[in-house]
Structure 1
């Protein structure tokens, strides 16, 4: 777990709820997208991405989500969802999620989201601001 925390300095701790399990007695596949969302908003908050949303009307939207399930997760468990960044472009970037199970001491799920900056006033894509670009680059995957 220490290695995971070093690899993902921004990570979110999530407790698995009993109600997240399905009839097959493991966390339902759609729940992981909520875990990703929770980690994504936590990441955005920590890098101040959402701070200007009200005044600028520019913020992130998701154009694509993926998940790869490696191991089933069951209640009770506590997960760490690590976030990293790759493929930074003028108006978009890719977020990667790695879900680590404390009970299993292993990564159980991998995911990604294509994030596009969007101007809600104009209804068009927006460019990444320099401060955001710097923050994203500081969490960019080493081999990206």
Structure 2
């Protein structure tokens, strides 16, 4: 697994307030790093514009985080995001966190459900979003 395989990459500086007393980044921040990459991915799909027009957005259903090496301040990380698979009403995003200091530190996955905020129910993955994902994640 390498950053070049991830079409969306976000650079993040680890700050001192993200540190736990034990000397590594608190677990919650890894999920926030995933969130920043996910939001950038959705921004490139213009999902906010789509949601404004249709009322259809996304809801996070599941997050899995595999801690390989502890991150610590000070450091600069790159968070890569890509779509691993698409289903009828959801898609799975895959993440990688690479540290300038220690290399590959974390991998993760999230299940993202397509949600109709007008009806308060999940709905099918719209064709225009599927096409956007295929254009961004070439080969999917």
TM-score for the superposition, normalised by structure 1:
0.89
More strand by share: 2
Structure 1 counterpart of 2:119: 122
More helix by share: 2
Structure 2 counterpart of 1:8: 6
Gaps of 5+ in 1: none
Moved more, 3-12 or 74-83: 3-12
Structure 1 counterpart of 2:35: 37
Write the distance in 1 (CA, Å) between the matches of 2:46 and 2:9.
15
Gaps of 5+ in 2: none
Write the distance in 2 (CA, Å) between the matches of 1:32 and 1:89.
25
Structure 1 segments of 4 or more deviating over 4 A?
139-142
* Aligned residues of 2:83 and 2:93 also touching (Cα < 8 A): yes
Write the distance in 2 (CA, Å) between the matches of 1:80 and 1:138.
22
Aligned pairs, how many? 140
For residues 1-144 of structure 1, the aligned pairs below 5 Å read 4-104=2-102, 106-140=103-137
TM-score for the superposition, normalised by structure 2:
0.92
Q: Deviations over 1:43-76 (max 9, x none)?
A: 1001212222122111010111110000011111
